[in-house]
């Protein structure tokens, strides 16, 4: 399998048509070649060639001949793809994670490794070692890894290969895709994406927003980011920086943000703002920290009030985002999950109160269900997306 930058002419059409057949099988189930030709409008000979290629790549199987009841019997083509995998990776301040997902949507590998940071910016050593280990094992088992996507907590350049700015990792202009591709030794095209985007994709495909086509995922760590899904697709913005909502100038105007300015939303609702509000210390991970806070809040009314006040500020931002994007559901991830009971009611009140009109649908606030692997799972979906779109040649 190869990935080229700008496919053209016949080759481009062939890929598009391959994507058309794959999407038809995924969305509408198994079908004979005749049925696929009818569904897609492609010539039957074209469908035959595509199916033969997909079968050779073990993306589909053809069952025994069955009679369709009318006309000549056909052999139903079924999407299997258990040997075609996308590799999703996540690098964060204190861990790296991986998920391998097959073409039929099954998770085949899940792994997390802690990263010893001790105050220094993390290197890519742990990420590369985990990624190459997993790929080597998968290839030895006869699988094909069609590509990898890495979720990072920061801004990703428009080329989807470079981390422009990930302040919490101390990275600025890092050519992460290139580093990984070199480590893979070729054959595994790699892209980078923002972690909120990846988590939003994962929730939409496997989590709490599979039932809606318009959703918003809010990361809850030291920084606050958003992944925006509209009509089932990620909204990325003109330069790939959509969803940088932590720096919306809607927070307490006196609070100083990590970026040096005042009034950013994340300076009011990020992990450190929360810890200040309840006067507690940061632990190893945002989830651990928030779990400890939640346990204390259960028996401390003052702490519950402080969290409700934070929920109010959270709601102001959610109301702003809802007015712009009109999501059917808003998913809170990261540190918000263990604290849901204390912050969601207040946030929901502000959201309802600030809706532009009573005729606007009130977005539901939901808590992420995918835990620490959300971003890596979404990255794996992303790694397979090119196959479905027909831009990755099989």
Please choose, from the candidates 129, 135, 145, 128, the residue with its C-alpha nearest in 3D space to the C-alpha of residue 180: 128
Kindly tell me which of 56 and 352 has the beta carbon lying closer to a second copy: 352
Q: Which two tokens stand for residue 221?
A: 């760590």
Question: Of the two residues 132 and 213, which places its CB atom closer to a second copy in the complex?
Answer: 213
Dihedral (Cα; 228, 231, 234, 235), 10-degree rounding:
-70
Under DSSP, is residue 380 helix (H, G, I), strand (E, B) or coil?
helix
Range 252-260 contact pairs with CB under 8 angstroms and sequence separation of 24 or more: 252/313, 258/167, 258/222, 258/223, 259/167
Residues near a second copy (CB under 8 A)? 9-10, 13-14, 16-17, 38-43, 46, 155, 157, 164-165, 172-173, 212-215, 226, 228, 230, 235-250, 259, 261, 316, 319-321, 323-328, 353-357, 359-361, 363
Cβ proximity to a second copy: between 272 and 304 the closer is: 272
The pair of structure tokens assigned to 90 is 């996540």
Measured from the CB atom, is 56 or 239 closer to a second copy? 239
Q: Measured from the CB atom, is 131 or 346 closer to a second copy?
A: 346
- Whole-angstrom distance, CA of residue 370 vs CA of residue 377: 9
CB of 213 vs a second copy, minimal distance in Å? 7
CB of 139 to a second copy, least distance (A): 32
User: Locate tokens 């809850």: which residue?
Assistant: 220
Closest CA to 32 of 80, 72, 83: 72
Question: Which residues are CB-neighbours of 200 under 8 A, at least 6 positions away?
Answer: 209, 215, 216, 217, 226, 227, 228, 229, 234, 331, 378
CA angle 197, 171, 122 (to 5 degrees): 95
d(CA 373, CA 223): 18
Between 294 and 331, CB nearer to a second copy: 331
What is the closest distance, in whole angstroms, from the C-beta atom of residue 109 to a second copy in the complex? 32
Q: 106-115: string of b/e by CB count within 10 Å (b at 16+)? A: eebbbbeeeb
Phi, psi of 100 (to 5 degrees): -110, 130
């Amino acid at each position: 399998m190869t990935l080229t930058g700008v496919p053209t002419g016949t080759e481009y059409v062939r890929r598009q048509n391959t994507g058309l057949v794959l999407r038809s099988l995924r969305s509408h189930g198994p079908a004979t070649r005749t049925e696929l030709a009818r569904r897609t409008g492609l010539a039957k000979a074209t469908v035959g060639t595509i199916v033969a290629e997909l079968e050779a790549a073990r993306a589909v199987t053809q069952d025994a001949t069955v009679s369709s009841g009318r006309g000549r019997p056909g052999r139903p083509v079924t999407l299997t793809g258990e040997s075609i995998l996308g590799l999703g990776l996540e690098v964060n301040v204190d861990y790296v994670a991986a998920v391998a997902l097959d073409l039929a949507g099954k998770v085949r590998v899940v792994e997390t490794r802690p990263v010893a940071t001790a105050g220094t910016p993390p290197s890519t050593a742990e990420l590369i070692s985990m990624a190459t280990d997993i790929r080597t094992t998968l290839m030895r088992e006869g699988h094909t890894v069609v590509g990898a996507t890495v979720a990072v907590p920061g801004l990703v350049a428009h080329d989807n290969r470079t981390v422009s700015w990930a302040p919490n990792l101390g990275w600025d202009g890092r050519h992460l895709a290139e580093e990984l591709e070199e480590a893979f030794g070729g054959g595994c095209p790699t892209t980078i994406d923002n972690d909120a985007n990846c988590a939003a994709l994962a929730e939409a495909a496997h989590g709490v927003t599979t039932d809606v086509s318009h959703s918003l995922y809010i990361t809850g760590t030291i920084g606050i980011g958003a992944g925006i899904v509209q009509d089932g697709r990620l909204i990325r913005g003109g330069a790939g920086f959509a969803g940088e909502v932590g720096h919306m100038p809607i927070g307490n105007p006196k609070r100083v943000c990590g970026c040096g300015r005042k009034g950013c939303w994340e300076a009011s609702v990020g992990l450190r703002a929360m810890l200040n509000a309840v006067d507690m210390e940061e632990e190893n991970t945002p989830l651990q920290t928030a779990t400890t806070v939640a346990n204390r809040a259960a028996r401390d009314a003052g702490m519950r009030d402080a969290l409700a006040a934070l929920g109010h500020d959270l709601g102001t931002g959610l109301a702003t985002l809802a007015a712009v994007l009109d999501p059917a559901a808003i998913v809170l991830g990261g540190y918000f999950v263990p604290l849901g009971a204390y912050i969601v009611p207040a946030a929901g009140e502000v959201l309802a109160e600030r809706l532009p009109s009573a005729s606007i649908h009130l977005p539901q606030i939901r808590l992420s269900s995918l835990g620490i692997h959300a971003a890596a799972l979404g990255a794996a979906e992303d790694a397979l997306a090119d196959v479905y779109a027909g831009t990755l040649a099989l």
